[in-house]
Amino acid sequence: MQQIHVFANGDVVSFSVYIVAGVVLLLMLWFTPTLVLAKFYKRCPSNRILVIYGKTSTAQAAICIAGGAQFVKPLIQDYAWLSLDPIRVGVQLGNSTSLDKHRVSLTGAFTVAIGTTSELMQNAAIRLLGLSTE
């Protein structure tokens, strides 16, 4: 037996409409926080460092994570990535003077990378975050 409500202006609304509206509202109330939490939960692959900066609970400038995951608090924290891939740096020293006072031109190349110890990741986050590889 279905209950039917008749309003003063003559509109007829079934009781099941209220049930459907309540279920939709409950689903929205459950999905919205779940989607927000999923958006701010950041997973870090093994070839990158996740740098979380802003208001951190530690005395450090940033939280650095190499592999793993962390929740980034919205409006309080932000995040950025540092690559663990080696970077080749070319150096040209033109018109250098050798020990026996001769002019020489030197060309060299260095390969550098960021280490995954806590101190090295903190130093890289402070000094390299926001810089391009060029």
How confident is the model over 93-118, as a mean pLDDT?
83
- The reply to whether 104 falls in a domain is no
- The reply to whether 100 falls in a domain is no
What domain range includes position 121?
Answer: 4-87+112-128
- The reply to whether 93 falls in a domain is no
CB 53: neighbour CB atoms within 10 A? 18
Q: Given pLDDT bands bounded at 50, 70 and 90, which one contains residue 50?
A: very high
> Does residue 132 have a pLDDT over 80?
no
Q: Pick from 62, 82, 85: which is nearest to 131 by CA?
A: 82
pLDDT given at position 5: 57
What pTM was estimated for this model as a whole? 0.66
- The reply to whether 57 falls in a domain is yes
Query: Who wins on pLDDT, 102 or 125?
Result: 125
| Number of domains, the chain | 1
- The reply to whether 82 falls in a domain is yes
